[in-house]
């Protein structure tokens, strides 16, 4: 097996820096407009209702921090799915995916950046993102005392929250680097010892992932709506991360192939990736529907409030996103990828994966904005600027990871099986 190295041209790198610069400019422009008047208008109209609900009126700083948090959670999830994908392939003794395994490996290069950003955003913007961080909620003598939130203080307190955050990232980065090191050593020295060791590492990681993917979803997303809870929420966030990660892997394979790399990857590998994307779009919808249907049918006020805020509440602000979310993330992939041929065609897969990546960004938007911004949310310069900023940073880390090793694992025991893979 011959080595295949990715070379990122200066032009491509510059594009990523331009993306970051454009994002920063749009973000700053959005903040200036919001501070000058846009944010004040939203604050005035949403202020009374927000105060009644025990939440602060939306300001430009709140909007900034919520956007930073949302994008970081979204991209951190995709980065984490890279290591999860690799671990699943090892534990399943999969051979088909060997030719593309360096792509999910490289996704996780964003994890250290995501960890640092998560910590900084929380330290500076926790009051803007999380209602439960306000001390007065726990003071019995304060008129704003909240017995429900006070009852959750054993789990939802800043010290324990930060400890959990550090532990999540420490574990994820540790396993990512361990698996990556074994993968590169296998290239250098050959033999099957690294492969068997990787299976054992992956088994350990999957146990850690099973716990931390749910608890991080509770911490970073669910606790925004502090009163509300759903036992399916960890699964829901995982499904959203997982299908976004699969879309990112598939899209990268296609782009690399179109640029003359991954020459041994063929329609059979694309077909398998297409099946993954198709199947897990349906899986995400299954989780979505199960959560929605049970809450809608039971019609218990403290449960249904979550969907009322997204459908009828907040001036109907989120209704269009609610339905667009379903159209982009379920209807579109389901109809387009239904046939065998569609899953083997680059153009079809490219369309669907881009749609899914945008669609699940909207999914996270819908999870976080109604509980923080209320009526003060929108998709404007701040949102687009923050998304571009994070996308640029993510792509820089990801492509740097891709260039650090051969795109094709050289001495993997199943590499020949992957080359001759046929479905």
Would you give per-residue pLDDT tens digits along the chain (423 residues)?
788 999 999 999 999 999 999 999 999 999 999 888 754 334 333 333 344 344 555 789 999 999 999 999 999 999 999 999 999 999 999 999 999 999 999 999 999 999 999 999 999 999 999 999 999 999 999 999 999 999 999 999 999 999 999 999 999 999 999 999 999 999 999 999 999 999 999 999 999 999 999 999 999 999 999 999 899 999 999 999 999 999 999 999 999 999 999 999 999 999 999 999 999 999 999 999 999 999 999 999 999 999 999 998 777 889 999 999 999 999 999 999 999 999 999 999 999 999 999 999 999 999 999 999 988 888 999 999 999 999 999 999 999 999 999 999 999 999 999 999 998
Token readout for 77 is 């999830």
| H or E element at residue 204 | helix 193-220
Token digits of residue 329: 């993330």
Residue 38's pLDDT is: 57
Distance CA 326, CA 350 (A): 19
Largest CA distance in the chain: 72
H/E run at residue 256: helix 233-258
Q: Is 101 in contact with 87 (CB distance < 8 Å)? A: no
The two structure tokens encoding residue 254: 């296609």
Q: What local confidence, expressed as pLDDT, does residue 41 receive?
A: 39
**Cα–chain-centroid distance for residue 117?**
14
What whole-number distance in Å separates Cα of residue 105 and Cα of residue 85? 8
* CA-based nearest residue to 1, from 177, 181, 186: 186
Strand stretches in 217-327, DSSP E: none
Are the CB atoms for 368 and 259 separated by under 8 Å?
A: no
Rounded CA gap, 81 and 79, in Å? 5
What is the C-alpha separation between 84 and 242, in angstroms, rounded?
9
* Element of type H or E holding 15: helix 10-33
Residue ranges in 133-192 assigned as alpha helix (H): 147-151, 158-189
pLDDT of amino acid 375: 87
pLDDT attached to residue 12: 94
Please name the residue that has the structure tokens 């295949």: 4
DSSP-derived 3-state class of residue 163: helix
Cβ pair 195, 179 in contact under 8 A: no
- Let me know: does 379 contact 161? Beta carbons within 8 Å: no
* Residue listed under structure tokens 């009051």: 127
Q: What does 341-392 look like in DSSP terms, one character per residue? A: HHHH-HHHHHHHHHHHHHHHHHHHHHHHHHHHTGGG--SSHHHHHHHHHHHH
**pTM summary value:** 0.94
Say if CB 379 and CB 280 are below 8 A apart. Answer: no
Both tokens of 36, joined, read 């000058």
- Residue 208 has a pLDDT of 98
């Amino acid at each position: 097996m011959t080595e295949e190295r990715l070379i990122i041209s200066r032009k491509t790198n510059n594009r990523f820096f331009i993306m970051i610069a454009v994002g920063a400019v749009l973000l700053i422009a959005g903040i200036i407009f919001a501070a000058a008047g846009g944010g004040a208008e939203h604050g005035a109209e949403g202020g009374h209702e927000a105060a009644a609900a025990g939440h602060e009126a939306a300001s430009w700083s709140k909007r900034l921090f919520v956007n930073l948090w949302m994008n970081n959670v979204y991209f951190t999830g995709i980065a984490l799915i890279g290591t999860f994908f690799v671990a699943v392939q090892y534990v399943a003794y999969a051979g088909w995916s060997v030719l593309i395994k360096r792509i999910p490996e490289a996704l996780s290069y964003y994890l250290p950046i995501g960890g640092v950003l998560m910590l900084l955003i929380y330290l500076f913007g926790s009051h803007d993102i999380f209602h439960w961080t306000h001390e007065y909620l726990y003071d019995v003598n304060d008129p704003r005392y909240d017995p429900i939130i006070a009852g959750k203080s054993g789990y939802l307190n800043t010290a324990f929250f930060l400890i959990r955050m550090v532990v999540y990232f420490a574990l994820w980065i540790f396993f990512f680097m361990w698996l990556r090191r074994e993968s590169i050593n296998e290239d250098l020295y050959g033999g099957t010892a690294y492969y068997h060791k990787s299976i054992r590492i992956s088994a350990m990681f999957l146990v850690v992932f099973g716990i931390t993917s749910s608890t991080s979803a509770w911490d970073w997303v669910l606790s925004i709506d502090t009163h509300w809870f759903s036992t399916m929420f960890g699964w829901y966030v995982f499904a959203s991360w997982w299908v976004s990660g699969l879309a990112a892997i598939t899209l990268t394979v296609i782009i690399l192939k179109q640029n003359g790399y991954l020459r041994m990857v063929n329609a059979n590998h694309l077909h398998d990736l297409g099946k993954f994307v198709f199947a897990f779009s349906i899986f995400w919808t299954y989780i979505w529907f199960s959560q929605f249907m049970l809450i809608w049918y039971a019609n218990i006020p403290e449960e249904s409030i979550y969907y009322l805020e997204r459908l009828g509440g907040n001036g109907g602000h989120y209704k269009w996103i609610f339905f667009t979310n379903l159209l982009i993330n379920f209807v579109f992939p389901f109809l387009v990828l239904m046939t065998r041929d569609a899953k083997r065609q680059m153009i079809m897969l490219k369309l669907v994966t881009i749609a899914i990546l945008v669609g699940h960004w909207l999914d996270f938007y819908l999870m976080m904005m109604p509980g923080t911004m209320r009526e003060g949310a929108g998709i404007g310069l701040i949102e687009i600027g923050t998304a571009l900023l994070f996308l640029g940073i993510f792509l820089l880390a990801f492509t740097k990871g891709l260039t650090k090793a051969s795109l094709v694992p050289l001495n993997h025991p199943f590499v020949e099986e992957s080359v001759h893979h046929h479905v």
